[in-house]
Amino acid sequence: MTRVAIVTGGTRGIGKAICLALQAQGVKVAANYAGNSAAADAFAAETGIPAYRFDVGDHAATLAGCAQIAAELGPVDIVVNNAGITRDGVLHKMSFEDWNEVMRINLGGCFNMAKATFPGMRERGWGRIVNIGSINGQAGQYGQVNYAAAKSGIHGFTKALAQEGAKYGVTVNAIAPGYIDTDMVAAVPAPVLEKIIAKIPVGRLGHAEEIARGVAFLSSDEAAFITGSTLSINGGQHMY
């Protein structure tokens, strides 16, 4: 049978690579995006993967968006919670809005997507949820109390929901990427990026495809005995 997947933040960067990796496994993929319609249109034209616009931080919009995807593509078997934003700044300069938006989208999006899809997975006796955390949710990062808190929360969310899904054939895992050569990292000033790379034992940034391969495996039948786990893909930058 053909599985159906939703990848949030799926039209660019790591999300795009995940969509393509799942598509290559024969999965019917839907990509969610929030605002960049030009990029989403180009992605859909290039890949043949339909793109659906809704804000994963908006509970009602997420329920409606997932219902539309299920109606058009079939019941959702795989969810990859990849959507995320940054609003960096040290705490004493960080506004409540900067804190709240990152929590609403990065962590709240995981809850909203699970509310929309987890019940169906449980009823059908099969499901895969893969949440994209971050090395900065594991180790912390100066100037990112909002982002680090949200990503750390994803790791706890993963472990708790995994316990709820296990007996129903639904696995819930996380991947914690290190620094990957995406647009988000490209925005980091060159001198800062050089210092970051100097701390990565393998001596380079990661590639989006390397994250995607991890997601593809955790989304497969072969990964049925793995749940509640966090796979760190960071070139050895943070080990624990």
Residues with catalytic function: 147
DSSP 180: B
Token pair, residue 35, equals 């605002």
Alpha helices in the chain (DSSP H): 13-24, 37-47, 59-73, 96-102, 108-124, 135-139, 145-165, 183-186, 190-198, 208-218
Q: What are phi and psi of 199, to 5 degrees?
A: -95, 0
Q: What is the amino acid identity at position 219?
A: S
Residue with tokens 């997947």: 5
Beta carbons within 10 angstroms of residue 111's beta carbon: 18
CA angle 197, 174, 234 (to 5 degrees): 15
Whole-angstrom distance, CA of residue 6 vs CA of residue 52: 10
Q: Cα separation of 141 and 147, whole Å?
A: 9
CB 157 within 8 A of CB 79: no
Q: What is the DSSP letter of 107?
A: I
Closest CA to 37 of 71, 12, 2, 70: 12
